[in-house]
């Protein structure tokens, strides 16, 4: 046998095997298609409902004179939140909000523990001192931001912190 004949025989064998594999895949695909086509066809009500839902318009347009029926709006009164007791103690509020300025005297803040700096402020009255701490205050000595810049603190927590700082400074 010549070399050309061997090559042609081997080439024919490979092409034949590949053709057989392709034919087997085609038959398998057709069989699977027959088995699954009955599950979800275009004429089935389930398929039609899914398509209608997918292509439904987002809104509707009404021409002048047309009215849309709507239910009356329901108005519900918001429940008033119950007053909450102070969640943080005086030292906790001081250590999270006040210490930044009142430990070093930044911006004219009286240093906690220095009675001389607190004497004039305490003499004005604790109510005014607490009001300045809660609402903020700009004075000749400096600036006190409202609630020490921590707006999330309650008025009661700020008042407790003021009592703590005054107690530590007297």
DSSP-derived 3-state class of residue 138: strand
Structural domain boundaries in the chain: 3-53, 90-169
> To 10 degrees, the CA torsion angle through 39, 42, 45, 51?
120
Strands (E), the chain: 137-138, 143-144
Q: 10 Å Cβ neighbour count for 149? A: 13
Query: Homologous superfamily of 90-169 in CATH?
Result: Cytochrome c-like domain (1.10.760.10)
CA atoms within 13 A on the CB side of 50: 8
Q: What is the pTM of this model?
A: 0.49
DSSP-derived 3-state class of residue 137: strand
Q: Judge whether residue 138 has pLDDT over 80.
A: yes
The pLDDT tens digits of the residues spanning 14-65 come to 999 999 999 999 999 999 888 776 666 677 788 888 888 889 888 777 788 7
Mean pLDDT for the stretch of residues 58-82: 74
């Amino acid at each position: 046998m010549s070399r050309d004949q061997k090559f042609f025989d081997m080439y024919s064998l490979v092409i034949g095997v590949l053709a057989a594999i392709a034919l087997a895949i085609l038959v398998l695909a057709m069989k699977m298609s027959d088995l699954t086509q009955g599950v979800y066809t275009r004429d089935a009500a389930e398929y039609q409902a899914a398509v209608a839902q997918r292509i439904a318009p987002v809104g509707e347009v009404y021409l002048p004179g047309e009215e849309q029926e709507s239910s009356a709006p329901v108005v519900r009164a918001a429940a008033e939140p119950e007053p909450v007791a102070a969640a943080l103690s005086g030292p906790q509020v001081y250590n999270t909000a006040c210490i930044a300025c009142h430990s070093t005297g930044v911006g004219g803040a009286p240093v906690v523990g220095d009675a001389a700096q607190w004497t004039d402020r305490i003499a004005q009255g604790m109510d005014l001192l607490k009001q300045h701490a809660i609402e903020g205050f700009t004075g000749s000595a400096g600036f006190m931001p409202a609630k020490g810049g921590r707006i999330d603190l309650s008025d009661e927590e700020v008042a407790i912190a003021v009592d703590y700082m005054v107690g530590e400074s007297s």
